[in-house]
Amino acid sequence: MLAQRLRRSFAVRSSGVASRDAAGPSAPATDGARATDAELVERSRGGDRQAFSALVERHQKPLYYLALRYLKNDADAADVTQRAFVRIYQRLDSFRGDASFRTWAYRITINLALNHLRDHKRETASEIEDNAVAIAPVGAGDLEKRRRAQRLREAIEALPPKQRTVIELRIYDELPFKEVATLANCSENAAKVNFHHGMKRLRQLMNSDEAA
């Protein structure tokens, strides 16, 4: 459902974004699954629409959940994800490869999510959707698991901003510390330290809730 929504929206939004869509033949769709991000970026720059579609397919879900953790709202997260891919498409020529494509795409998505929060000047939604954090699915009838999932989300949000960012990127997005450090604007060692202290604090918060 998410993939279909993003593909439909991107197709509409990107139709007039750049003239590169009209240039050159597209490679077979099956090539996208085997190609690296760098190869897909290079092909996209040359006008290969299927190559960019492969990038969208590969990264749309993690970018969506990244935006959702900031925005706490499904519709806003989907909109920011769509705008992120349009921004990525527009700026492909400026991607230098100093960082990975994934790190670059994450940074664009985070900036758009923060801009969205600032521009709307509203409190985050008080009712957090079940998939606001990419945790393991819980059964509809398992009330205790739902309560624990809610406590986990609240505990993560109670962490200092840097620790929260590092933990989310490391655990939920499974990024290596090098990429986490880039996105958190800190050194790799600082990212590891923040992760260690954040996990320690998270365990304390969860244990105190269970003891209450």
- What tokens were used for 176? 């290596």
In a shared domain, residues 115 and 151: no
In a shared domain, residues 58 and 116: yes
- What tokens were used for 58? 């590969």
What does the pLDDT average to over 164-190? 93
If one counts every other C-beta atom within 10 angstroms of the C-beta of residue 70, the result is: 21
Convert the pLDDT of each residue in 4-14 to its tens digit.
Answer: 555 555 554 44
85 membership: H or E segment, kind and range? helix 74-90
Whether 77 is covered by a domain: the verdict is yes
Q: Are 175 and 183 in contact (CB under 8 A)?
A: yes
Count how many domains the chain has: 2
pTM of the predicted protein model: 0.71
Average pLDDT for the chain:
80
